[in-house]
Amino acid sequence: MSDGARHIERTFVMLKPDALERSLMGEILGRFERKGLKLVRLELRRVTKELAATHYAHLVDKPFYPELEAYITRGPVVACVWEGIDAIRVVRNLVGATDSILAAAGTIRGDFGVDKTENLVHASDSPESAAVEIRNFFNESTSTL
Ligand code: TYD
């Protein structure tokens, strides 16, 4: 039975400060490369408090937000866009569950993450959020590559 049409998608991925602090950038980007995804945009940058509040707008009222803000702004991140068949689902599967303690072995968070906050990677959860997040971080279309 078919599970629906498959589409070429683009998804936004951010390697969070702990990924760079722990020298896991090559390991994490390599997993996306080896899966066959195409890299269409990549930039080393800092997340300001303003960008954090935009990106995590759905979480700003949560009790853990101050901890999340301190974490995401404490050092450089790698913002990138990956393209491929069903890329949003494929990347979320590679990344694993939000809480690294519960994330399956073999996923990035399951293999390397510490807990719910220090979970190394952000990945878009829908085509709508991918479009918004790519715009928030790159402020332009990525359609040229
Ligand atoms: P969320 O969008 O729910 O998860 P995901 O990153 O898997 O899409 O949450 C965003 C980030 O917020 C999450 O990666 C880590 C942080 N977070 C906490 O620090 N504590 C929490 O209890 C939750 C739910 C999230």
Tokens 């990106």 identify what position? Answer: 55
pLDDT of residue 5: 78
Q: How many CA atoms lie within 13 A of 22 on its CB side?
A: 15
Q: The whole model's pTM is what? A: 0.93
pLDDT by residue for the chain (145 residues), tens only, comes to 456 678 999 999 999 999 999 999 999 999 999 999 999 999 999 999 999 999 999 999 999 999 999 999 999 999 999 999 999 999 999 999 999 999 999 999 999 999 999 999 999 999 999 999 999 999 865 555 5
Q: Is any ligand 1 atom within 6 A of the Cβ of residue 117?
A: yes
For ligand 1, what atom is nearest to the CA of residue 68?
19
What the block records as the tokens of 66 is 């101050």
- How close is the Cα of 42 to the center of ligand 1, in Å? 22
Q: Is any ligand 1 atom within 6 A of the Cβ of residue 59?
A: yes
Is-catalytic flag, 122? yes
SS3 label, residue 114: coil
Phi-psi region of 120 (alpha: psi -120 to 50; beta: other; left: phi over 0): left
For helices 87-95 and 25-34, the axis angle rounded to 10 degrees is 140
Q: How many CA atoms lie within 13 A of 78 on its CB side?
A: 19
